[in-house]
Amino acid sequence: MKSVSCPNPECPLFEKVDEGNVIPYGFYKTKAGKHRRRRCKSCGVTFCSTKGTPYYRLQHRRRTFDEVAALSVEGVSKSAISRLKGIGWNTVSRWLERAAACCRRFNDEAVRDLRIPELRADEIRTIVGGKDDAVWIFATLDVWSRLWPSTVVGRRSFGNTYGVFKDTVSRMKQVKSPLIVTDGFDFYEKVVRRLFGVACVYGQVLKTRRNDRVIKVERRQVIGAKWKSEEALVESEDSSRLNTSFIERLNLTIRQATAYLRRRTTCHARRKGRLEDQLEIVRCHYNFLRPHRALKFGSETRTPATQAGLVTRRLTFRDVFTLSLVPVSPGRIIYLSGDVESCPARAA
């Protein structure tokens, strides 16, 4: 109970943990069984164990909610989820909105203080509403941990290019001369120069295609001396030359995990907000829940967040969704799965 906070905004101990003001206050019954109620001794407000989480006033089992979220990140459309689970389409849509809001908050608070020696950036083209309404999904990637720190959806403009890099930089620790590689999109160079100046090594990979086949690959050093680039590649554990293969593989993962982005599909997004919501769920799942095969060490396969030191174990959707019950204190992440457990945010 010490790690549970009072959800009443008028309470003097609102969202404060370890104050001892929240105590057990009986149980309440639902179709799924018996659940705990709690009471704040400071303001006298009573609340259920799911208050402040996506499970609040849920008329189904929490496991069903988790399964809907899990299906959505496997590229299954809302209509297919509705048929598989026997739940109304509107209910599935409403649940995914709740899940997206929680994942967005989790991503913003948990993805911090990253050490990114190698950074990649790229964009995916898709449509929203109709074929004439093209939007781009900008994404960045930390090569060493395979972490996906930031994404922006919008026009292929300087503002959105700057926005995704600015968000990534705000989540980074100071790294001496990070190696940054992108394709030849014009705004990348302008943004990198503005945010990093000469305190980085920046290169571009330009591919020439003919009949949908790559016939020529040109690697260009843009910022930094050639010897700095060679030194950064020698120190790299993943790259032997300038490349965009890691971010392109992330693009494929995003397409496979998002029904809106499948090719030749009727499931394209009708609204930009729906696409952004789904990408937040996919990003949370990719970083914290899904083991990455490139991060296998002996019998252990880590998630990107585990490799980056953000968490000490692989999370579940239950961990992410119940996190809304309490605020995240500086320097730690609090999990609530069954018994209350808190652990340091950084791996030892």
Per-residue pLDDT reduced to its tens digit, 48-82: 878 778 988 888 888 999 999 999 999 999 999 99
The overall average pLDDT reported for the chain is 86
pLDDT-based confidence at residue 32 (cuts at 50, 70, 90): low
SS3 of 294-315:
HHEECCEECCHHHHHCCCCCCC
Mean pLDDT of the 164-187 span: 91
pLDDT reading at 336 higher than 60 = no
Helix segments in 147-198, DSSP class H: 158-170, 186-196
Confidence at residue 3, expressed as pLDDT on a 0 to 100 scale: 64
Q: Which of 46-50, 133-137, 282-286 has the lowest mean pLDDT?
A: 46-50
Question: At how many degrees (to 10) do helices 89-110 and 272-284 cross?
Answer: 60
pLDDT reading at 325 higher than 50 = no
How far from each other are the two terminal CA atoms of the chain, in whole angstroms?
A: 26
State the DSSP string of 56-114: TT-SS-HHHHHHHHHHHTTT--HHHHHHHHT--HHHHHHHHHHHHHHHHHHHHHHS-SB
The DSSP 8-state label assigned to residue 274 in this structure reads H
Q: Which of 207-211, 303-307, 323-327 has the lowest mean pLDDT?
A: 323-327
Highest mean pLDDT of the ranges 42-46, 255-259, 343-347: 255-259
Q: Three-class SS of residue 2?
A: coil
Mean pLDDT of the 10-36 span: 80
Q: Which of 102-116, 193-207, 327-341 has the lowest mean pLDDT?
A: 327-341
Domains defined for the chain, CATH in brackets: 118-249 (3.30.420)
Distance CA 146, CA 129 (A): 32
Q: Length of the chain, please?
A: 348
Q: Which of 65-69, 108-112, 323-327 has the lowest mean pLDDT?
A: 323-327
Mean pLDDT of the 239-259 span: 94
pLDDT reading at 143 higher than 70 = yes
Confidence at residue 67, expressed as pLDDT on a 0 to 100 scale: 97
State the DSSP string of 238-253: S-SS---HHHHHHHHH
Confidence at residue 240, expressed as pLDDT on a 0 to 100 scale: 87
Mean pLDDT of the 321-327 span: 62
pLDDT-based confidence at residue 223 (cuts at 50, 70, 90): very high
Bridge partners, 153 (sequence order): 137
Mean pLDDT of the 163-184 span: 91
Highest mean pLDDT of the ranges 14-23, 27-36, 183-192, 207-216: 183-192
The sign one gets for the Cα dihedral 242, 245, 246, 248 is: positive
Confidence at residue 341, expressed as pLDDT on a 0 to 100 scale: 36
